[in-house]
Amino acid sequence: MLVAAIILAALIAIFYQSFAYLFYPVKDLQAEIEKGFELAKANEGKIVESELFVAKAVQVLNTKNFEDSSTLAVFECTDFELCCKDTEECSLGLSFNTERKTLSVEKDSAVSPYYRCLYDRRLFVCKAFFGIKPAQAEISSVKAEKSLKLDEGNQLLIEFKYSNVGELDAFEELTARVQVFDKEDNNPLKQALFETEKAIPKIKAGEEKSSSIIAEFSRAGSFDVKIEIESEEAGKDSKTFAVKAEGIPQNLCTALQKESPQLYPSLGGIEELRGECVSKALCSNCSFAFECKDAWDARGESVVAADKEYAYVIEPAGACSQ
């Protein structure tokens, strides 16, 4: 019975591959990949699935067909019963050549590619996956207080659960990141008031894990808190929630005093300060260099960030000759 079942399954697979064009529409593979990449860019970090269609033989696509000044393309095979990788001969439907960055359709094949794009340093890295759905990170739930009394503490504990909703395991750690934004700032390019990240454990297909991360608030106000998880292998997901902070924070980052002016070295260090007359401006209770700078900015000084314990105030040139 077992042998008969195996033979039957093999015959069904052969029939499926040979006559798939009778059941599914024939589509232009290059046009479908282009469409998939555009959808994936609009849903950055998330898997975009496509309907099953037939890719006709014989054709060869290169990743260069899909690249421009803002896009890098990658082909990946995630099921070696569907495709060959870096082999001289291939009896399967699809063949991938890593060195040439090509995808060859060896014979008419029923395919339903998955697409995902990640934005990195002004460039979309877009991947087309053929076979099994790749690992995909997803934030399942987030637990955190929605209000914070700063006189009792300026840290917010964020507990979250994350899972892999793909069909392949993720073999690398993910990065969890939290950012705090001013809710009243309507600038689409607004900068985070606070940001930190940490590594969190990898996840197998269908697995869910728990972790936590801490956000800090330096002043009262209404804020959007964004938590994000990401890896190259498992994509990206994020959740945003509102927090209202009230009161005056303990241990507020404070500008202290300036040291005597001196000429900044003409070599090394911070480039924009080379040869300038500067004073080291000391701070206390600051967690980041930008907080120390902001504390001195509030005093109306011309400041350059350096360290969480000090910044540099640019003085008039004559101050260093006195």
Domain boundaries, position 27: 2-130
* pLDDT at 106 (0 to 100): 87
* pLDDT at 275 (0 to 100): 86
Query: Of 39, 244, 288, which Cα lies nearest the Cα of 149?
Result: 244
Q: Are 65 and 128 in contact (CB under 8 A)?
A: no
Q: Are 140 and 163 in contact (CB under 8 A)?
A: yes
Give the whole-angstrom CA distance, residue 43 versus residue 49.
Answer: 12
- Does 268 lie in the same domain as 238? no
Q: Using omega within 30 degrees of 0 as the cis cutoff, is the peptide bond preceding 58 cis? A: yes
Positions of the chain with pLDDT under 70: 1-23, 251, 322
* pLDDT at 242 (0 to 100): 97
Give the whole-angstrom CA distance, residue 184 versus residue 193.
Answer: 12
Threshold 0.85, pTM exceeds: no
How far is C-alpha 4 from the geometric centre of its chain's CA atoms? 48
* pLDDT at 40 (0 to 100): 97
Mean pLDDT, the chain, as a whole number? 87
Choose the final residue of a domain: 228, 246, 264.
Answer: 246
Any idea what the CATH number is for the domain that residue 212 is in? 2.60.40.2550
**What tokens appear for 298 in the block?**
């509030």
- Name the 3-class secondary structure at 103: strand
* HEC letters along 276-292: CEEEEEEEECCCCHHHH
Exposed e or buried b for every residue in 23-51, given b needs 16+ CB within 10 A?
eeeebebeebbeebbeebbeeebbbbebe
- Does 70 lie in the same domain as 168? no
Give the whole-angstrom CA distance, residue 296 versus residue 217.
Answer: 18
Per-residue pLDDT tens digits for 195-227 = 888 999 999 999 999 999 989 888 899 999 999
* Cα distances (angstroms) measured from residue 50 to each of 13, 36, 40, 106, 310: 21, 8, 11, 21, 54
- Does 34 lie in the same domain as 68? yes
Run of H or E including 252: none
Give the whole-angstrom CA distance, residue 269 versus residue 91.
Answer: 60
Classify the C-alpha dihedral 10-93-41-51 as positive or negative.
negative
- Does 173 lie in the same domain as 124? no
Residue 139 identity (one-letter amino acid): I
- Does 92 lie in the same domain as 177? no
Residue 225 DSSP one-character state: E
Per-residue pLDDT tens digits for 51-61 = 888 888 778 99
What is the number of alpha carbons within 13 Å of residue 163 lying toward its C-beta?
9
- Does 120 lie in the same domain as 185? no
Choose the final residue of a domain: 69, 98, 130.
Answer: 130
| Residue where the block lists tokens 């997901």 | 237
- Does 146 lie in the same domain as 116? no
Structural domain count, the chain: 3
- Does 120 lie in the same domain as 26? yes
* Cα distances (angstroms) measured from residue 130 to each of 55, 101, 134, 140: 12, 14, 9, 26
- Name the 3-class secondary structure at 302: coil
- Does 104 lie in the same domain as 39? yes
CB atoms within 10 A of CB 190: 12
Give the whole-angstrom CA distance, residue 56 versus residue 58.
Answer: 6
- Beta-bridge mates of residue 8: none
Radius of gyration of the chain (CA): 27
CB atoms within 10 A of CB 75: 23
**What tokens appear for 66 in the block?**
């899909």
* pLDDT at 43 (0 to 100): 97
Query: Of 288, 253, 245, which Cα lies nearest the Cα of 155?
Result: 245
